[in-house]
Amino acid sequence: MEEKEFLRRPAPAKREITERTVIGGFTYPFGAYPEEEFAQQAGFDSKYIKEGGYFYYQVAVSHQRALEVFYDIAALLPAKVYLVAQVHTDDYYKESDTYITENPEDRDEFLGWVRDWADVVGDDGFFGLGMFAEDPTAEVFLDEHKTIHVYHHNPDLIEAALERLNIPFVMDMKMFWDQPHYHEPLPLADEYSEDYLTAFEDLADRYELILEEDEAENLDEQGAPLGMTCWKVDVRGYRPVKEPGERAMGFYSTVYVNAESRFEATDLIDSYMEGRNEFADLYLQMARVPGELLTTGLRRLNPGEEPGVWYETERVEFEWDGAQN
């Protein structure tokens, strides 16, 4: 894969956090833990998925082992895999966005990225990721609770790995995330206050990520059409260099759009920026917000049922390494 020349944010430095939640000998990640005393059992359970012809495993281990187990099982997948990232969203109608790569990528290169971002991947409660292959089915996914989910056509291979890792089988294993529990994002060190979005931005710069949903639909949780919706969109953009030697500048801002679908929202923002001789390089987050949840000031500015861009926040600028001439 040809390396893309984009602005690179550094991987997060280690944070000084003094106390983890430990109950009954099980250590929870910083970003996900139970509200009340719940001693999570370390182990795995499994079931056969008849429709797909594969086995499903959920694996729970203390925080200090989660990435080790993830790396070990990931090594059993083919050398070329599709990547999947699940990112928390502020969307009123759903909890997360799921992205996948269009083409298979190098498994070990991706695991190198995971190691670089181990603090976020292993601890942030708003971020999950994994990899999968098809024909036959093989997938490993580390979710936002840091539970490992494995889907595989060869149970002997997976269970031998779990035995080698000293992870016992637990019949009808109870999971802490089926109980009331907390989710927290983890701020990064130094000047960067973002967390899972920073990791997502870096991952999206390295790989072509595609939203795994129909962008033409705009449905609520029950599948009913929502029609015109307010979209709050966090944008990374840049303006082209006009003169030789001119510094290329990028920017972050939040744009509010009235649109009937995600596709229409992105199209409106692209047109809005094209009119300013600028480009939206990356949508960090697109969240639908019911009008009644907007601030009084934003409600006053919102034209209502008309599609279009109607508000943009103040921009944060930075030197842009990937702008096109």
Averaged pLDDT, 58-87 = 98
Which of the four pLDDT bands, split at 50, 70 and 90, describes residue 322?
low
pTM higher than 0.85: yes
Peptide bond into 290 cis (omega under 30): no
Which of the four pLDDT bands, split at 50, 70 and 90, describes residue 189?
low
pLDDT at 22 over 80: yes
Contact 44, 173 (CB under 8 A): yes
Residue 139 token pair: 């997938």
Q: For residue 185, what pLDDT is reported? A: 87
Q: For residue 7, what pLDDT is reported? A: 37
Q: What mean pLDDT is reported for the chain?
A: 90
Contact 44, 52 (CB under 8 A): no
pLDDT at 187 over 90: no
Averaged pLDDT, 147-159 = 98
Which of the four pLDDT bands, split at 50, 70 and 90, describes residue 247?
confident
Q: For residue 9, what pLDDT is reported? A: 41
Note the pLDDT tens digit of each residue in 251-276.
999 999 999 999 999 999 999 999 99
pLDDT at 324 over 70: no
pLDDT at 1 over 60: no
Averaged pLDDT, 181-198 = 74
Residue 304 token pair: 């209502």
Note the pLDDT tens digit of each residue in 200-209.
999 999 999 9
Which of the four pLDDT bands, split at 50, 70 and 90, describes residue 129?
very high
Query: Amino acid letter at 255?
Result: V
Contact 149, 58 (CB under 8 A): yes
Domain ranges of the chain: 22-183, 227-319
Within 181-324, where are the H helices? 196-206, 262-274, 296-301
